[in-house]
């Protein structure tokens, strides 16, 4: 079987996606599969690289460019050459897609809908779950509906901000306490997120977030640890051990995550077993609330009083060497090679079940 490794994308998480794809390509069982790299460029072109029969030999092998676009003296270890194709050309028999795409135009249901139209099995959540999981406002509403505790927040869009910014600032400051966190509704990896302490910074943070999305969430900041768990499965989903992020910075932003890597992982988290069970139950509840399948990472806040608040759910979490999702399963007893294989099998089973339903109808 051929794995179509689809990565890159047009979101701000393009580079993270390439790192994730590189790590996943190291975990493929090449005695069973071949791997066809397909990178979506920042401007939306699809580049198909040479097929892999072994793990990538160097870090930049999955960073594809067209040969005519290579600059003089460009380091060959930083790139590899690809051929531009139309998106529908990825369709082939006996293939499965691993869409390692983070953020908008990849993790939000758009690619998933395209793959459904092509009739290709793919790893991860379906269209609805992907769209719901990407949108922080929708997920908050779903979590409210199923009774998972959350920190106080307000949400609004660009139109409301342009009409009366003072009213929204007053609303935020009247119902929430500083520090506040300002987030684009549809973005991941802490892109566009700011921690603010006063009105002036709040205005600047909202304007920054609006560069990434037209809908905004402003959340109550709390003094809490960040807790994460991994979910794996379709109807019979399982939850990993609980992990805690031990941070060297007050805010775990993009630079701290992927450049400085100042965050240590405490896995399993040193917390009471009953508390760990509660967090894992909430994670499974959140997964089912969005109709998740394949995989997800669910993030929580844990206060010094052992109060638990859900933060968000990620339907295609990062797979880089610094990413929590694969490490959580490794510490639970599932190797990264076996994890990737299980994800592929889950995708095939889900595709077969959906195909059977279509036949019945």
Whether residue 92 contacts residue 256, with contact meaning beta carbons closer than 8 Å, is answered with: no
In 3D space, the residue among 43, 35, 87, 86 whose CA is nearest the CA of residue 65 turns out to be: 43
In sequence order, which residues have a C-beta less than 8 Å from that of residue 302 and are 6 or more positions away?
Answer: 224, 225, 226, 227, 244, 271, 275, 279, 308
Find out whether 219 is annotated in a ligand binding site.
Answer: yes
% of the chain surpassing 90 pLDDT: 81
The 3-state DSSP class for residue 226 equals strand
Whether residue 150 contacts residue 310, with contact meaning beta carbons closer than 8 Å, is answered with: yes
270 burial (CB, 10 Å; 0-12 / 13-18 / 19+) is exposed
Asked if 13 is an active-site residue, the reply is: yes
Whether residue 134 contacts residue 9, with contact meaning beta carbons closer than 8 Å, is answered with: no
Asked if 84 is an active-site residue, the reply is: no
What residue ranges of the chain have pLDDT lower than 70? 70-78, 188-189, 248-262, 359-361
Find out whether 221 is annotated in a ligand binding site.
Answer: yes
Question: For 152-220, CATH number?
Answer: 3.30.1490.20
Over the stretch 88-132, which tens digit does the pLDDT of each residue have? 999 999 999 999 998 888 999 999 999 999 999 999 999 999 999
Find out whether 170 is annotated in a ligand binding site.
Answer: no
pLDDT at site 263: 77
In sequence order, which residues have a C-beta less than 8 Å from that of residue 267 and are 6 or more positions away?
Answer: 241, 242, 243, 244, 327, 328, 331
C-alpha 235 chain-centroid distance? 20
Whether residue 353 contacts residue 296, with contact meaning beta carbons closer than 8 Å, is answered with: no
pLDDT at site 227: 97
Asked if 274 is an active-site residue, the reply is: no
pLDDT at site 62: 95
Give CATH 3.40.50.20 domain extents, the chain.
2-122
Find out whether 226 is annotated in a ligand binding site.
Answer: yes
> Which is catalytic among the residues 189, 194, 276, 293?
189
Give CATH 3.30.470.20 domain extents, the chain.
224-353
Q: Which long-range contacts (CB under 8 A, 24 or more apart) does 277-280 make?
A: 278/308, 279/227, 279/229, 279/242, 279/308, 280/229, 280/239, 280/242
- For residue 58 the two structure tokens come to 């160097």
Sheet of strand 34-40, all strands in order from the earlier edge strand to the far edge: 83-85, 46-48, 34-40, 2-8, 95-100
Confirm or reject CATH 3.30.470.20 for domain 224-353, answering yes or no. Answer: yes
In the chain, % helix, strand, coil (3-state, to 5) comes to 40, 25, 35
> Which is catalytic among the residues 20, 130, 293, 323?
323
Whether residue 37 contacts residue 21, with contact meaning beta carbons closer than 8 Å, is answered with: yes
Give CATH 3.30.1490.20 domain extents, the chain.
152-220
Over the stretch 2-12, which tens digit does the pLDDT of each residue have? 999 999 999 88
In sequence order, which residues have a C-beta less than 8 Å from that of residue 284 and are 6 or more positions away?
Answer: 231, 237, 239
Q: Residue 136 gets which letter from DSSP?
A: H
Residue 96 phi/psi, 5° resolution?
Answer: -135, 140
The dihedral built from the CA positions of residue 287, 290, 295 and 300, taken in this order, carries a sign that is negative
pLDDT at site 251: 55
Q: What is the pTM of this model?
A: 0.90
pLDDT at site 261: 57
> Which is catalytic among the residues 13, 107, 228, 256?
13
CATH number of 2-122, picked from 2.70.98.10, 1.10.10.10, 3.40.50.20, 3.40.366.10: 3.40.50.20
In 3D space, the residue among 150, 299, 297, 283 whose CA is nearest the CA of residue 225 turns out to be: 299
Find out whether 224 is annotated in a ligand binding site.
Answer: yes
Residue 4 phi/psi, 5° resolution?
Answer: -95, 105
The dihedral built from the CA positions of residue 195, 18, 241 and 261, taken in this order, carries a sign that is negative
């Amino acid at each position: 079987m051929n794995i179509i490794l689809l990565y890159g994308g047009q979101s701000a998480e393009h580079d993270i996606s390439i790192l994730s794809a590189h790590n996943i390509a190291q975990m493929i069982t090449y005695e069973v599969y071949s791997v066809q790299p397909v990178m979506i460029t920042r401007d939306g072109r699809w580049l198909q690289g040479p097929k892999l029969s072994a793990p990538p030999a160097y870090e930049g092998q999955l960073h594809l460019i067209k040969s005519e676009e290579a600059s003089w003296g460009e380091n060959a270890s930083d790139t590899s050459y690809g051929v531009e194709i139309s998106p529908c050309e990825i369709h082939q028999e006996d293939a499965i897609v691993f869409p390692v795409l983070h953020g908008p135009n990849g993790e939000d249901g758009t690619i998933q809908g395209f793959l459904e139209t092509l009739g290709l099995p793919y790893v991860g959540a379906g269209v609805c779950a992907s769209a719901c999981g990407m949108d922080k406002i929708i997920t908050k509403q779903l979590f409210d509906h199923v009774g998972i505790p959350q920190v106080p927040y307000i949400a609004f869009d660009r139109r409301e901000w342009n009409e009366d910014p003072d009213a929204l600032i007053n609303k935020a400051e009247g119902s929430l306490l500083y520090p506040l966190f300002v987030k684009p509704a549809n973005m991941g990896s802490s892109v566009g997120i700011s921690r603010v302490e006063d009105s002036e910074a709040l205005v600047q943070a909202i304007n920054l977030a609006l560069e990434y999305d037209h809908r905004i969430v402003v959340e109550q900041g709390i003094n809490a640890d960040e807790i994460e768990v991994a979910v794996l499965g379709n109807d019979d989903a399982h939850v990993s051990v609980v992990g805690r992020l031990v941070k060297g910075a007050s805010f775990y932003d993009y630079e701290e995550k992927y450049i400085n890597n100042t965050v240590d992982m405490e896995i399993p988290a040193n917390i009471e077993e009953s508390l760990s069970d509660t967090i894992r139950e909430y994670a499974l509840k959140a997964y089912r609330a969005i109709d998740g399948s394949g995989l997800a990472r669910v993030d929580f806040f844990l206060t010094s009083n052992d109060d638990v608040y859900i933060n968000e759910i990620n339907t295609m979490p990062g797979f880089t060497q610094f990413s929590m999702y694969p490490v959580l399963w490794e510490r639970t007893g599932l190797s990264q090679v076996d994890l990737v294989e299980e994800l592929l099998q889950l995708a095939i089973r889900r595709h077969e079940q959906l195909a059977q339903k279509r036949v019945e109808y």
